[in-house]
Amino acid sequence: MAGEGLGGVAGRRIGSTFRLLMQVRIWMAVMSMLLTPYNRQNLETTVVVVGVALLSWLGLVAWQQIVTWLLAYPVLIVIDVCVSYVVLVAGGVLGPFFLFTVVTSTVAGLLHHRTGVLLVCLMQVAAYYGAAASDSGSIVSFQTVVAMPAFYPICGYLGAKIRRLFDEHEELYKARGQAEVVAAAAEERARLAREMHDSLAKTLRGIAMSAEALPLWLARKPSRAEQEAVRIAAAAEIASREVRQLISDLREDVVQQPIDTVVGAVTADWARSSGVQARVSADPGVDLPLRTRYELVAILKEALENVSRHAGASAVDVRLTLGPAGPVLTVADDGHGFSASPDFSELVREGHYGLVGMRERAATVGARLDVDSRPGAGTTIAVTFPGALGEGWATDLEVA
């Protein structure tokens, strides 16, 4: 990851760990001053401790830039090794200041690979021995010669293991993301197959049957033949829209985008093409299962298409909110409206095929569609997805 910045899950966790290490070092600097014997406290030691604490605070505040530099230019960590040497000379190798210096090895293990960590640890061991040699009060023992210098490679190893865990988690995260994309693509292919079988194929079959009967009606009852021709034209237009919808679904990626983003984009595109003013209020906290979000977007598109084709409206509102009943899609316009019948068979006879299609889409995911319209008072369509994400879920999507 050297030179690659702080992108991805691993990068964010590395940044968080680096900030934690800087906080630990600041507290170690404070504790070092409190634990230093009075006879060893002097102006030089105080200046060093305060300076190191300020440098650690700078690393905490400007961690993004500093970590980026350390990843891109590993040699910069030599500066921290030099600071560790100054701390050991000022505070002594046997004092609490030693604990402050091991953070450098942990940072090296977190940010760099084995070779870099090994070099940093060797430089810190050399700096430790150099500081011990300059300290007339140091005692030569197993602790000072072996045990304490061993902390540097141990802490470097600890930092490297933490980094490895982060990298493994990043790989698993990417693999899971790829698996979700593959699963979503399979779900989309299955959905399109169902759409073609349940909707488009039936529409085309109905057109074919009506066309076959048209010559008979022409011979027996021309007025009925005229009505059937109108129905065939309307059905052909529905089939055309369904084909365009399927092609549009193939081109659009609504699987990986937040549903509030999709709703805003769909509404904005429709407003540009239709010239009707549209207002959108989308709550980013709303989420939906894969199948449900596809049907919701399809219903939204069909509702907006009905507004542009039939309502004569000047404005449409789109709202996405969280509520207690589950996700709710509401479409309301300020158009001329119509006499809405609760009986959907009546809507079919009156030629409101779009409403029927939306109802069928809602039913496939267990949703309920309600229509409220009066002549001169506009139309409101509400689709409720109760318990779409399980018990306790509360989401409202409204298009008005």
Q: Which of 174, 208, 240 is the last residue of a domain?
A: 174
Is residue 61 in a domain? yes
Contact 212, 165 (CB under 8 A): no
Tokens read off for 12: 């964010």
Same domain, residue pair 167 and 67: yes
Contact 135, 95 (CB under 8 A): no
Beta bridge partners of 328: 384
The rounded average pLDDT for each run of 10 residues, N- to C-terminus, in the chain (400 residues) is 55 86 85 69 75 85 86 84 83 76 88 83 89 75 84 90 87 75 66 64 74 80 81 78 65 65 88 88 76 81 84 86 77 82 59 72 83 85 68 38
Is residue 208 in a domain? no
| Chain position carrying tokens 């569609």 | 369
Same domain, residue pair 22 and 155: yes
Beta bridge partners of 278: 316
Tokens read off for 287: 């989420």
Burial environment of residue 88 by CB neighbours within 10 A (0 to 12, 13 to 18, 19 or more): buried
Same domain, residue pair 160 and 261: no
Q: Which of 111, 145, 174 is the last residue of a domain?
A: 174
Helix 97-111 to helix 151-195 angle, to the nearest 10 degrees? Answer: 40
Same domain, residue pair 19 and 138: yes
Tokens read off for 137: 């009060």
Q: Which of 174, 197, 232 is the last residue of a domain?
A: 174
Q: How many domains does the chain have?
A: 2
Is residue 115 in a domain? yes
Is residue 101 in a domain? yes
CATH number at residue 266: 3.30.565.10
Is residue 243 in a domain? no
The strand pair at 396-399 and 368-373 is best described as unpaired
Is residue 194 in a domain? no
Is residue 188 in a domain? no
Alpha carbon of residue 376 to chain centroid: 42
Beta bridge partners of 329: 383
Same domain, residue pair 33 and 151: yes
Same domain, residue pair 281 and 399: yes
Nearest to 287 by CA among 261, 248, 250, 316: 261
Same domain, residue pair 281 and 152: no
The domain containing residue 332 runs over which residues? 256-400
Contact 254, 293 (CB under 8 A): yes
Is residue 214 in a domain? no
Same domain, residue pair 18 and 141: yes
pLDDT at 316: 92
pLDDT at 154: 92
Nearest to 318 by CA among 372, 382, 397, 383: 397
Same domain, residue pair 68 and 162: yes
Same domain, residue pair 62 and 164: yes
Beta bridge partners of 396: 321
Same domain, residue pair 167 and 23: yes
DSSP string, 170-218: HHHHHHHHHHHHHHHHHHHHHHHHHHIIIIIHHHHHHHHHHHHHHHHHH
Same domain, residue pair 145 and 271: no
